[in-house]
Structure 1
């Protein structure tokens, strides 16, 4: 339109000679709806035309316009191919998620349900007289299965919220030592499996307390699953400029560089996952929640072997004065509590 000093230009197309013209793209006021109404009509193939209004062009300008029209048709085809490819990827991703959900229902959800049902049936049986020890063991199995179900369903719901964009963080200033100990409640034997080092002098962070607690819980639980039984996971926090960094360090098998980003995708479990390791949503949910709060979650190699998850958050007040002894939260670091239960 600018090159040829036109009022309007429209790229028109139709499916066949008997079908009406439709506008694939236009610029300028009152674009034309038919090539017959144009001051300049430049056909592009059998069913496409460039329709210009404003003035009649000399022959030499029409030759240049033909190149413009051909290029416009190529760009339109490329856009449509890209859109079709995006739709195909979206359909493939949907199919992959549905397949993973079926696998989750058939195994990861079905297994604890089967254990719960077996334990309940045993307790209700009148043919066997269970000792108090046996009853306690069966009840513990029921509780463990229910906890696994609650965790799996919670992660499925969280991922659904992330994918539909319904996560709305309530950002406020809190201390990390208010959140991290709460996130360890669901970890088996946290006193033995986790070493905690969260200094009370850290600046406050601007986060959603609930989302951060869930993210840290998923990260730590994942690290504990892959760590050797005699190697506790280290959860350590420190200040990095205007940000606060929380590192979850394990001594497990680690992850190669080319797979470090893939482990954050939904339904991904790298390598031979431990039995009962879940549907592979924990790290995906954790990263989604952290990014929703304006933070980052990345994976690094642990020196000497293993994987380190690095959670970085905004510091609310980098120059915050450390709390006094009266208002310090009660939290025991590794040096204070040792390794005893």
Structure 2
């Protein structure tokens, strides 16, 4: 009986001592967490898409709270409204960032870029890109297997069966960048939406020389440089036989679109251009179509002519 009592007392003493030791250890190595992190996390959309550059909304909230300046941090899903609310919680003034949208920089449809072989492997763009250059003559364009569509968590993309290219639903795109990361050929880019959703961009990523690029795709950029010379705002650069339009400098004048010989530059959501009158529609009237205008007769001459006519008529009546 005494042994049992002594055992119970010893175990209780050991438990109390262990608890005291654990308490002091916990206090020693306690990690303080700012309570504002929970508030900021609740304000975020909880999409956990990684568009902000962090693995999840919790990590992004921690970065926001710890940062001295959050002007370079942005939640593409929440947009300006969410970031303004977060700024108010943290005591920072947030400047509204220009909204962006994903853009497919490839126009290699089935008509523009005919297939040269048939791919019968795994339905993955990453695997196909690692195995060979693609089923057309262009090794840079869209592989058409829809890995970007699978990566989109917002149903903002689908594959067009007719063209074989991905289509972005602008109203659903939150600019998270998941499709950009998923594309092994880097044909998808995040660009500013622009005023009234109007955008101009080079819909090609082919870096081959003009003749080779043109042979592979009829609407490829051939690196002629006409758009560079035509742009009055220095918004277009030419590198590795490929033109690129800087959306921060572009003023949407559309002059580059007109001079592009292969229609590689796309303009979205613009009103139709006004057709210039042809030479036939503004042709000058010929001599046959011009009616002669009677020369006005002076009043005195008209009266004299009338009197002489009446005199002759009176003489003929007397006869």
TM (norm. structure 1) is 0.18
Decide which structure has greater strand share: 1
Q: Which has the higher helix share?
A: 1
Q: TM-score, normalised by structure 2?
A: 0.19
